[in-house]
Every structure is written in structure tokens, then in C-alpha cells.
Amino acid sequence: MLNSSEFRDLVSGRRRGPLAGTLRFALRLAEVPYSLAIRGRNWCYDSGMAATYRISVPVVSIGNLTLGGTGKTPMVVWLGRWFRSRDVRPAVISRGYGASAGAQNDEALELKQKLPDVPHLQDPDRVAAARAAVEEYHCQVILLDDALQHRRIGRDLEIVLLDALEPFGFGHVFPRGTLREPLSGLRRADVVALSRADVLRPAEREEIWRQVRRYAPQSVYLETAHVARTLISSAGQEEPLESLAAQPVAAFCGIGNPAAFRHTLQTCGYHVADFREFPDHHRYTTADIDSLARWANRLEVAAVLCTQKDLVKLDIDQLGRRPLRAVRVELTILTGRDALEAKLRTLLPRQS
């Protein structure tokens, strides 16, 4: 079983040799029926054969074309704060992927910390959840998380995120690549946001936008960065990023794109002595925590670092003898903010 990084090494072509080539060929064969099924499903919605349900308040969809993390949660937080600062009551609706029965998943726990005054409803039936948000919580706008491929709910604004580290899924739909659907899905986007745009040179960013314009010439374009702000403990205590400068650290994560977290650690200037990966939305068991503690104790490191999405599930401040901290990251819009806000203002309730 390949972990996320090994899978990306394979489908990107970085992994070489006869076995890797054979595996890519097998994945290419499997891609064909999956891609056809996705195209057929989209055609049903585009043609009106599949029903779309309208909610009585504006709906903003935040989604992505590729598997793994593209920064949806930071974007949801930014939007939630934008609406709250204007005295508008938003609600976040998501499917709740990876949640155990009767519990919230990692994204909901993280959003509860960052948007404590915004209700977050998780339900595989997102139509029912959205209606409940309006009827029970009297919300005035719905933030539909991870919803580009969820088309049962009509939306007033479609925001699609592309990760600068892996914008087009290596040119193939899953399982041969990391695209959730063909690039033609960009045609539905009202806003296309390039996450972690700061890692690329201007010419590289322009090449991405050139390809985006083939499918979404009408869209608003954003460039964003994920900026590390502080270190945070499970108790909510913050420490400056510089407190671990020039010291060796260990790190781990259970997110869709571990390379993104590695990049964050690199921008902080940390020396990462060892790094462990877990599957996306991993539910940490007692055995996992014991294993991580033994691993941390073997390393000569000042601390162990993870993402906030991991820390909210672990809810501990120590791994063995090592302090455990998360890197708190926030989204910054580098370009396109005015155009995005112009779109959002059209969704604000009219003053009576």
C-alpha cells in the first residue's frame, strides 16, 4: 500500500523503473472507466437530468480539482471571518469525511477553534444539512466545503482552488493522476484561486494561468499564500515560530498533501530531523500515539510538529518527552482580493 508521497512519486513519473512503468500503465487503464463515469455524472447535471436543489440563502462552494489538500480550510476560515465582520451569519456545511459515528472529523474540530461563532453541520446529505442551517440556526449564507464535485446543491459562487505545488494532478484523473475530474470542470468556476502561489516564480504562475484561461476565461483569479503565524499547543497557548529556530525538530501529518506541510516547515526555517506520514483524515489510536512517542524519544529534537488538523484529534501537549506543537497557518490573498470581495458583496443581505 503506497502512502500519499509514494503515490505521487509514482503517478508523477518521479519513480522510475520497469515496475513503476507497469503500475502506471495499469492505473491508466483504470483511469478510463472512472473518468467516463465522472463525465457522465457531470453531463447529467449540466443537461438538467439530475436534480439540483436551491437553498433559500446564498451558497458559496469551496472545492478543488485534485485529491489532497489545496487549502480549502484556510479559505473557508477567511470567508467565514469576512462574512462575520459584516454581521452576516454564515454556516459551514460539509460531508464529514473520515468522521466516526456521532463525532466530528478533523476539519470540523479545526474550524470550531478558528470560527467558534460559526455553526458547522456535517452530514452526507448536505441538502438536508444546508436546510437545517437556515431553519434552525437562521444562517444567512452557506459555505459549502469541498463541494466542486457535489452538485446536488445549487450555488451562487463557485470557488475552485488549485495547489501551486500540484495544480493539474499530473495531467490525469485518479487513479492514474490526482485529478478528481477532468480539467474541463474548471468551466464551472466563478473564482479560481492558486494556493501557495508564493512558492513559484512569476513565469511559472503565468503558465498555470495560461492553462486555466483555456477553461475558465470568465473567472476571477486569485493568488494566495499560506503563512505560518505561530506555534500552538493543544491547550491553545501560542509561541513564536522563532522559538524553535535553528533547532532540530521532528514532524508528522495526516493530510492529503504532505508536501505542503513540508513546505511550510521549510519556510519557517526548521531543520526537520525526521518526518512521518499518515493517511488523510487519519484517526489516531492509542497505538499510534505510543508509536509516535517512542519515535520522538529516539530523536534528538527540541519538539515535534504537526498540523492543526492533526493536533485537534490528538489533544495532547507531549509525545513522550518531547513537546508537541502545531504550526498555525493562515491564508493571505496576494492578488485578486478586490475582485473576490466584489463578488462576495453581491451575496450580502439587502438592508431593509
The pLDDT tens digits of the residues spanning 289-319 come to: 999 999 999 999 999 999 999 999 999 999 9
Per-residue pLDDT averaged across 95-109, rounded? 68
* pLDDT value of residue 99: 56
Q: Do domains 59-226+332-345 and 227-330 have the same CATH topology?
A: yes
In tens, the pLDDT along 321-338 reads 999 999 999 999 999 999
Given this model, what pLDDT does residue 325 score? Answer: 97
| Domain spans in the chain, listed from the N-terminal domain onward | 59-226+332-345, 227-330
CA distance 195 to 38: 25
227-330 adopts what CATH topology? Answer: Rossmann fold (3.40.50)
- What is the per-residue pLDDT for 109? 82
End-to-end CA distance of the chain: 58
Average pLDDT of every residue of the chain: 93
For 197-239, what is each residue's pLDDT tens digit? 999 999 999 999 999 999 999 999 999 999 999 999 999 999 9
pTM: 0.90
Long-range contacts of 318-325 (CB under 8 A, 24+ apart): 319/289, 319/292, 319/293, 320/292, 320/293, 320/294, 320/296, 321/296, 321/297, 322/250, 322/296, 322/297, 323/233, 324/233, 324/234, 325/231, 325/232, 325/233, 325/239
Q: Which CATH number fits domain 59-226+332-345: 3.40.50.800, 3.40.50.300, 3.40.50.720, 3.40.50.1110?
A: 3.40.50.300
For the record, the C-alpha cell of 253 comes out as: 501529518
Q: Residues 251-288: pLDDT tens digits?
A: 999 988 888 899 899 989 999 999 999 988 888 999 99
Confidence check: pLDDT of 142 > 60? yes
Three cell numbers at 305?
510538529
**CA atoms of 295 and 276, how far apart (whole Å):** 10
In a 10 Å sphere around its CB, with 0-12 CB exposed, 13-18 middle and 19+ buried, how is residue 16 labelled?
A: exposed
C-alpha of 137 from chain center = 25
